[in-house]
Amino acid sequence: MKKHARMNRLRFVLTITSMFFFANSAFSQKYDPTIMSTVNALFDGMREGDSTKVRNAFALGCTMMSVPENPKDSIAIKKSSIEGFVKAVGKPHSEKWDEQIYKVNISVDGPMAIVWAPYKFFLGEKFSHCGVNVFTLIKINNAWKITSITDTRRKEGCL
């Protein structure tokens, strides 16, 4: 009798675990893949030095903020101009700007999406810094556009 009860418990646990796994997998696949296409186009444009490709990823009025590592344990938010960023990407530079994202999480509610992505940034082959990017995207005229980017920046403790 005990062996039968253990088998039933094991079946129950496996069934519940499988349900959570498959439900989570199904949910994570509901987002529109063009959300990541927009984010990837931004990074491709950065690597290629293509300011037009970078500009096309953004909506008009997009905001850009960074929270850099601060040795004084205080928060300093640095606001940047999208236009300044786009121009900087397009200026010739000796090293490729290579921002590599991983462990990406996407949440969507209708025409709005949030992309949370840890990253490592390299100038050519040399590591520069790491952190987390948070992108807010809005679907405008059937195209996902980045409306804001906020990131953290540090040199150590990368995921």
What is this structure's pTM? 0.77
- In whole angstroms, what is the distance from residue 90 CA to residue 46 CA? 8
- In whole angstroms, what is the distance from residue 69 CA to residue 67 CA? 7
pLDDT for 157 equals 85
Residue range 70-96, pLDDT digits in tens: 777 778 899 999 999 999 999 999 999
Give 5's pLDDT tier (boundaries 50, 70, 90).
low
Residue range 108-147, pLDDT digits in tens: 999 999 999 999 999 999 999 999 999 999 999 999 999 9
For residues 103 and 118, is the Cβ–Cβ distance under 8 A? yes
